[in-house]
Structure 1
Amino acid sequence: MTTAVAAPFRFFSLRVVGTRRLGPSLARVSFAGPDLRDFRSDGLDQSLSLFLPHPGQAEPAVPVELGEGWWQGWRELPEDVRAVMRSYTLRSLRRDADGHTVEIDVDFVLHGVEPAGPGRDRAAPEAGPAARWAADAAPGDRVLLLGPAVADNRAIRFRPPEDTDLVVIWGDETAVPAACAIVESLPAGTRARVWLQVPHTEDVQDLRTAADAEITWLAGDAAGGPETTLATLRDAQLPPAESPYVWIAGESGCVKQLRRHFVGERGVDRRRVTFVGYWRRGLTEEQLREQG
């Protein structure tokens, strides 16, 4: 199997080397493999595509040749055979002394999966294939990743202008990994106001950052739906700023409402608002792709 795709992205064959439950709704899976020597990323909100096996498969089923025609070849495989493809963001990476990537972490949202005891999880019928896979992932499991071979690539969306004097961040549970990576990377002296939304209080994470960051976790009932989220941010008092930059990511409908709020109600220049819809309520990722 070839692994090359035109730069800045290529395929990487990886194996699970560790798993850790972060809370009722989140699990971290660590991956490694010789291919990672060519993995390049500045981190932050780096987008990735993971190809996962179906239950009973030893590895994800993909076309033998993963060149420029990989997408069509993957689509032509039977739906119950071809690898499950899902989009994620890089949570963190580790490099060796020579600067080569040796491990990466990806955090999974476990929709429909609840802890059932030490080392065991229970998947409800509504749990998706990626959540089921992550809940059962074990060292040695094989996956395929489509990721960057160039550190500064178009799949990184967090790009505050140089004159930014306030960073504003909102993300739901699907955007928490990217948002946490961003917050942890902010340099000293950066003013930041951050809201992170998770289903359970046990999903709240302890973030360390050199920035002057005020981080608010909206957990459980405090999170609410889109209207509650919008009301929370409308009521928020932001520090005075001449050149703010806003990054919002998560459910696309909520993200659009928040963008309208920051641009229309708070007067933030639309060019200084990055908004990313990671998912859409009522639609699977396959259905989203079909809509283009």
Structure 2
Amino acid sequence: MLAEATITPFKFFPVRVTKVQDLTPGFRRVTFHDPSLEHFGDPGWDQRIKLLFSTPTADARKLLGSTDWFGDWRELPDEERPPIRTYTTRYVRPELAEVDVDLVVHPGGTGPASRWLETAAPGDELLLLGPDARFDGEPGGVDFVPPARTEQYLLVGDETAAPAIAVMLEQLPADARGVAVVEVASAADAAYFPKHPGFEVRAVARDGGEHGSALVPAVEAAAGELAPEGTPQTVTEINLDTDLLWEVPRTAKGGAALEQTSLYTWLAGESNAVKTLRRHLVGERGIDKRTVAFMGYWRLGRAEN
């Protein structure tokens, strides 16, 4: 259903690229602008958004005004369905009607987002799906929900989770304490992360190895430092072929599942690595599963849509 006047939690913004900036060899920042972005909601943290890419047979902007974006997108014929990719907002400037999104550079990538990013330039037009600030309620899309009193944080991810972790490092208060462990393609990408007075950022380079090969041992080491071994908990294994690897401890009202914890873990990235680390943290080390948020952002060998 198309009805532009209807205010929904998320809406489409018809954005245009105004700036492209290389931050490190593996990260590129794209600045989007449109007058409608004055209404872009910005709850911060790991706010998810989606970018839709037009193709010669699929005009993404036909979805403008949709009040059921996924249903309308899904009903399009295959050749008219624009590709979708999920990202995290990096900076939002509603007073300038601008949004920055940091994207991972995949040289020689064959996916629609990778191909577009190789030649992205001012003037490019995309469709951005994000929260509408005029919506009277909780729009969703934020999964960083630690207890109000958290003594330490363990932030974990690969390069796809790096923008979200960067936002957390900037938005957590100065007295927060913890470790961020992020797997990146090369050591040069470590420069991407902002500094936080209470965090040690451990950017481990994959250097051509398999995804997760550097992340898993680094997280196991960090967990051993931050959390003494507890009683191993039962972990229900998730079938990555049929089920979504995504669990965020919450109450029905959207808050954290506990009021206080000694350690809160936020874990996101390639699904197989996330699954392995979840098993280690909860099933082997015995960390309370109510303090572990885990999200399979993507799966090796499988496109998002």
Structure 1 length-normalised TM: 0.82
Deviations 1:171-221 (A, max 9, x none): 101111111111111111100101111112222225334440000111133
Residues 72 and 186 (structure 1), Cα distance of their counterparts in 2 relative to 1, 3 Å cut: closer
Q: Distance in 2 between matches of 1:78 and 1:72?
A: 12
Residue 231 of structure 1: how far off its partner (Å): 2.3
- Alpha-carbon separation, structure 1, partners of 2:275 and 2:294: 8
Pairwise CA distance, 1:26: 2.0
CA contact (8 A) 1:3 1:11 kept: no
Among 95, 106, 110, the residue aligned to 2:105: 110
Which piece of structure 1 moves more, 139-148 or 244-253?
139-148
Shift of 1:65: 5.2
Q: In the alignment, what sits opposite 2:239?
A: none
**187-196 vs 46-55, greater mean Cα deviation:** 46-55
Q: 1:162 aligns with which of 126, 148, 157?
A: 148
Letter in 2 for 1:77: L
**TM alignment of 1:62-211, pairs within 5 A:** 62-63=62-63, 66-68=66-68, 70-96=69-95, 102-111=97-106, 113=107, 124=108, 126-150=109-133, 152-211=138-197
CA distance in 2, matches of 1:64, 1:246: 37
Go from structure 1 to structure 2 and tell me whether the alpha carbon gap of 1:108 and 1:227 turns closer, same or farther (over 3 Å shift): closer
Structure 2, unaligned stretches of length 5 or more? 229-260
8 Å contact 1:49–1:147 — kept in the other structure? yes
Corresponding letter in the other structure for 1:44: W
Q: Relative to total residues, which structure has the larger strand share, 1 or 2?
A: 1
* Cα 1:20–1:172 shift into 2, 3 Å: same
Q: Distance between the aligned counterparts of 1:51 and 1:282, measured in 2?
A: 20
- CA displacement at 1:25 relative to structure 2: 2.4
1:4-19, aligned counterparts within 5 Å?
Answer: 7-19=8-20
- Three-state SS of the structure 1 residue aligned to 2:43 is coil
Matches within 5 A, 1:204-243: 204-221=190-207, 225-226=211-212, 228-236=214-222, 237-239=224-226, 243=262
Contact kept, 8 Å, 1:24 with 1:203, in 2: the verdict is yes
Partner-residue secondary structure (3-state), 1:226: coil
Aligned to 2:60: 60
1:253 paired with 2:272, answer yes
When residues 210 and 110 of structure 1 are mapped into structure 2, their CA distance, relative to the original with a 3 A threshold, is: closer
Confirm or deny: 8 A CA contact 2:52 2:83 kept in the other structure. yes
Match of 2:251 in 1: none
Q: Give the whole-Å Cα distance in 2 for the aligned partners of 1:152 and 1:211.
A: 31
Distance, in Å, in 2 between the alignment partners of 1:209 and 1:64 is 39
After TM superposition, the score normalised by the length of structure 2 is: 0.79
Using a 3 Å threshold, how does the CA distance of structure 1 residues 278 and 103 change in structure 2: closer, same or farther? same
Q: Distance in 1 between matches of 2:226 and 2:196?
A: 18
- The number of residue pairs the alignment matches comes to 268
Amino acid at match of 2:13: F
Cα deviation 1:52-92 (Å, max 9, x = unaligned) = 122698x6353465232x43432343434432211111111
Which ranges of structure 1 fall in alignment gaps of 5 or more residues? 114-123, 287-292
Alpha-carbon RMSD across the aligned residues, in angstroms, is 2.5
For the pair 1:262 / 2:281, whether they are aligned, the reply is: yes
CA separation of 1:175/1:6 partners in 2, compared to 1, >3 Å: closer, same or farther? Answer: same
Corresponding letter in the other structure for 2:67: G
Name the CA distance, whole Å, in 2 between partners of 1:63 and 1:8. Answer: 16
- Is 76-85 or 193-202 further displaced after alignment? 76-85
Structure 2 vs 1, CA of residues 5 and 158 (structure 1 numbering), >3 Å: closer, same or farther? farther
CA contact (8 A) 1:60 1:83 kept: yes
Identity %: 38
Aligned residues of 1:61 and 1:82 also touching (Cα < 8 A): no
Of 151-160 and 75-84, the range deviating more from structure 2: 75-84
